[in-house]
Amino acid sequence: MLKADRTAKILAHVTEAGSADVHALAELLGVSTATVRRDLQELHDQGLLHRTRGGAVTGTVNLELPLRHRHGKRQAEKRRIALAAERLVPEGAVVGLTGGTTTSELARVLAERGGVTIVTNAVNIAADLIVRPEIRLVVVGGIARSASYELVGPAAERMLSQYHLDVAFIGVDGLTAGEGCTTHDEMEAHTDQAFLRSASRCVVLADSSKVGLVTFAAICPLTDIHDLVTDDGLTGAQEKAVTGCGVRVLRA
Amino acid sequence: MLKADRTAKILAHVTEAGSADVHALAELLGVSTATVRRDLQELHDQGLLHRTRGGAVTGTVNLELPLRHRHGKRQAEKRRIALAAERLVPEGAVVGLTGGTTTSELARVLAERGGVTIVTNAVNIAADLIVRPEIRLVVVGGIARSASYELVGPAAERMLSQYHLDVAFIGVDGLTAGEGCTTHDEMEAHTDQAFLRSASRCVVLADSSKVGLVTFAAICPLTDIHDLVTDDGLTGAQEKAVTGCGVRVLRA
DNA sequence: CGCGCGTCGATCGAAATTGTTCGCTGTGCC
DNA sequence: GGCACAGCGAACAATTTCGATCGACGCGCG
């Protein structure tokens, strides 16, 4: 039996019955439980079903997006950056979050703390947070970009212009003293600008590998930024260049 | 038995009877009272029921279950309804989808077909579809409702008013000839209205258990609806009442 | 033939779940 | 108030399941 056939059968079985357990599937398909587990893992990663202990349930409402970049080795650093950034958020604040792995991590940290309002254009953050009634969540609409899980475009910017954010956290792909903050996509950059315009305080989240890089689309000059939260991989020269633009640097 | 199944059964039992005691649940499910207690604790933490000494009672009058507990035996019917509804969507159409399990199923069907633009206010649908670059996805922003995974409020309605939809699919909680379409939440109903206003064609998706029910908030009279897609569980009298309002009935 | 590649089954330690037992607390009854 | 008792939470042990790793097998290719 081909692997593709098997996974298709598993999926059919799960969606039909609403759930299935590992042993029954193994027997049904004539393979070992280890194989079933691997298949379920794979289907779960693709968001096609939801894995539970002992089996799986229908994935019709699976909110866990596989963030492809999430399992990178910088994960621990991003978490530390998020924990440092969280200290910039006062109780009851309205917080803006753009898309990105680091901002997603910050969203999780804030969700555990609770007591804030989060405004975001990132679908994965929205999916993460919507199950938490203890935080207020506002999602900025727009056209979906599958590459970054973000909602962008004029609608998003119009909607953002109607809100006031106490602090906006921006994830960037590149950051230099000369070119300022840059990202890979122009629409994204434009929507990020709308976040900055609506916010009293602008904070950039970027691990140290981004510093010194210039990517395609410009978001803003460094002088528009109040704080940069990063890890401790910055060289002295890099830090000096950034602080020279009036940006406060926070090391996680 | 999977844990997810067990908690779903507990919830079903409690909401059906209004209350339940630990021993009865333990016997019914074939597990120990300790396990039932732990499950009840968990459900209570999620605010899905109210724990009492000796058992549990329904948390609120108008209980609306989170979607993750609704994957039930009606799953197959929802899928059939979705497949029937898909035939109403011409190639290249702009399709509006509100929240709900049936509309989510339709979203999956449309995603596999591709070639359409989907406008939705449901976060779970957005999360499902954003990984599919072959369809255009527009998410309507707004305030997040964790009970239904929908984005609602004035921002959502303003944004919808700027779009034109070829066909809008609405998921409802109740449908009668007298009261029209109804749902559990007023904000949701209001946002649903915005979908209807923007659409050339209005289609309601509802399995037959919804027909004849009236819930809290009115969406629209039946005369505003062009089609109803449902399963084959409708009585003749029910169908006649619906068609009498000028609604075409499609059975999956 | 040898080799790399992907897949499968088996094994083992780690983690989660469950049932049991134990005090402790709340409730009803005298 | 005191008592009996059911229900509760916590701790513990037994079982199940998971994840990672290893070796085996089939297959294509040079």
Q: How far is the CA of B62 from the C1' of C28 (A)?
A: 33
Q: How far is the CA of A34 from the C1' of C3 (A)?
A: 27
| Nearest-by-Cβ selection for B138 from A138, A143, A149 | A143
| Nearest-by-Cβ selection for B132 from A15, A129, A146 | A146
Find the Cα–Cα–Cα–Cα dihedral A17, A21, A26, A29, rounded to 10°: 10
B99 in the same domain as B54: no
Q: CA nearest A141 in B: which residue? A: B141
A64 touches strand D (CB under 7 A): no
Whether A134 contacts A115, CB under 8 Å: yes
Residue nearest C15 (alpha carbon to C1'):
A53
Q: How confident is the model at residue A76 (pLDDT cuts 50, 70, 90)?
A: low
Tokens of A117: 């309002």
A38 located within any domain: yes
A136 in the same domain as A161: yes
* pLDDT of amino acid A59: 55
* pLDDT of amino acid B63: 38
Whether A244 contacts A99, CB under 8 Å: no
Tokens of B165: 């939809």
Burial (CB < 10 A; 0-12, 13-18, 19+), residue B250, is middle
Alpha carbons B78 and B104: distance in angstroms, whole number: 9
Tokens of B53: 């000494």
* Residue in A89, A85, A22 with CA at minimum distance from that of residue A52: A22
What confidence tens digit (pLDDT) does each residue in A93-132 have? 999 999 988 898 898 788 878 889 999 999 988 987 887 7
Looking at CA atoms only, how far is residue A207 from chain B in angstroms? 25
pLDDT: is A189 or B51 the higher one?
A: A189
Looking at CA atoms only, how far is residue A83 from chain B in angstroms? 25
Residue nearest C25 (alpha carbon to C1'):
B53
* pLDDT of amino acid B71: 46
Domain edge (last residue) among B38, B61, B84: B61
Looking at CA atoms only, how far is residue B168 from chain A in angstroms? 18
B80 in the same domain as B53: no
CA distances from B147 to A131, A193, B102, B174, B191 (A): 8, 32, 16, 17, 15
Q: How confident is the model at residue A134 (pLDDT cuts 50, 70, 90)?
A: confident
* pLDDT of amino acid A63: 39
Mean pLDDT in consecutive groups of 10 residues from the start of chain B, 252 residues: 86 79 91 93 80 78 43 66 94 94 90 92 89 88 90 96 96 93 94 97 93 92 96 90 94 86
Nucleotide nearest to A34 (CA to C1'): C9
What are B220's strand-pairing partners?
B181
* pLDDT of amino acid B15: 72
B85 located within any domain: yes
B68 located within any domain: no
* pLDDT of amino acid B76: 67
* Residue in B96, B42, B102 with CA at minimum distance from that of residue B70: B102
Q: How confident is the model at residue A2 (pLDDT cuts 50, 70, 90)?
A: confident
Q: What is the DSSP string of B98-141?
A: -SSHHHHHHHHHHHHH---EEEE-BHHHHHHHTT-TTSEEEE--
**Strands B165-171 and B94-97, sheet pairing:** parallel
Q: How far is the CA of A39 from the C1' of C12 (A)?
A: 21
B70 located within any domain: no
* pLDDT of amino acid B62: 34
B66 located within any domain: no
Nucleotide nearest to A33 (CA to C1'): C9
B219 in the same domain as B174: yes
B88 in the same domain as B13: no
* pLDDT of amino acid B75: 63
Alpha carbons B237 and B252: distance in angstroms, whole number: 18
Alpha carbons B159 and B163: distance in angstroms, whole number: 7
The verdict on a CB contact (< 8 Å) between A65 and B130 is: yes
B80 in the same domain as B52: no
The verdict on a CB contact (< 8 Å) between A141 and B130 is: no
What positions of strand C are covered by protein, i.e. any atom < 7 Å from a CB?
7-11, 16-21, 26-27
B46 located within any domain: yes
* Residue in A117, A93, A114, A120 with CA at minimum distance from that of residue A201: A93
The verdict on a CB contact (< 8 Å) between A140 and B141 is: yes
Query: Nearest-5° angle of CA B99, CA B100, CA B106?
Result: 90
Q: How many CB pairs under 8 A join A and B?
A: 137
Three-state SS sequence of A223-238: HHCCEEEECCCCCHHH
The verdict on a CB contact (< 8 Å) between B131 and A63 is: no
Q: Helices A3-17 and A33-45 sit at what angle, rounded to 10 degrees?
A: 80
A72 in the same domain as A39: no
Chain A residues touching B144 at Cβ < 8 A: 126, 129-130, 136-139
Q: How far is the CA of B26 from the C1' of C10 (A)?
A: 36
Alpha carbons A242 and A178: distance in angstroms, whole number: 10
Q: What is the DSSP string of chain A?
A: --HHHHHHHHHHHHHHHSEEEHHHHHHHHTS-HHHHHHHHHHHHHTTSEEEETTEEEE-TT------GGGGSTTHHHHHHHHHHHHTT--TT-EEEE-SSHHHHHHHHHHHHH---EEEE-BHHHHHHHTT-TTSEEEE--EEEETTTTEEESHHHHHHHHT--EEEEEEE-SEEETTTEEEES-HHHHHHHHHHHHHEEEEEEE--GGGBT---SEEEE-GGG-SEEEE-S---HHHHHHHHHTT-EEEE-
**Percentage of residues in chain A with pLDDT exceeding 70?**
92
Nucleotide nearest to B54 (CA to C1'): D7
A155 in the same domain as A209: yes
Instruction: Give the count of domains, chain B.
Output: 2
The verdict on a CB contact (< 8 Å) between A61 and B76 is: no
A141 touches strand D (CB under 7 A): no
What confidence tens digit (pLDDT) does each residue in A7-48 have? 889 888 887 787 889 999 999 889 999 999 999 988 887 767
Alpha carbons A251 and A237: distance in angstroms, whole number: 15
Beta strands in B7-160 (DSSP E): 19-21, 49-52, 55-58, 94-97, 117-120, 136-139, 142-145, 150-152
Assign B210 to helix, strand or coil: helix
Q: How confident is the model at residue A70 (pLDDT cuts 50, 70, 90)?
A: very low
Q: Mean pLDDT over residues A47-72, rounded?
A: 60
The verdict on a CB contact (< 8 Å) between A123 and B124 is: no
CATH number for position B88:
3.40.50.1360
What are B165's strand-pairing partners?
B199
A128 in the same domain as A30: no
* pLDDT of amino acid B101: 84
Burial (CB < 10 A; 0-12, 13-18, 19+), residue A160, is buried
Domain holding A40, by residue range, is: 3-58
A36 in the same domain as A103: no
A174 located within any domain: yes
CATH number for position A39:
1.10.10.10
B82 in the same domain as B13: no
B85 in the same domain as B53: no
Whether B71 contacts B102, CB under 8 Å: no
Q: Which of residues 53-92 of B touch strand D (CB under 7 A)?
A: 53-55
B16 located within any domain: yes
Neighbours of B95 (CB within 10 A): 25
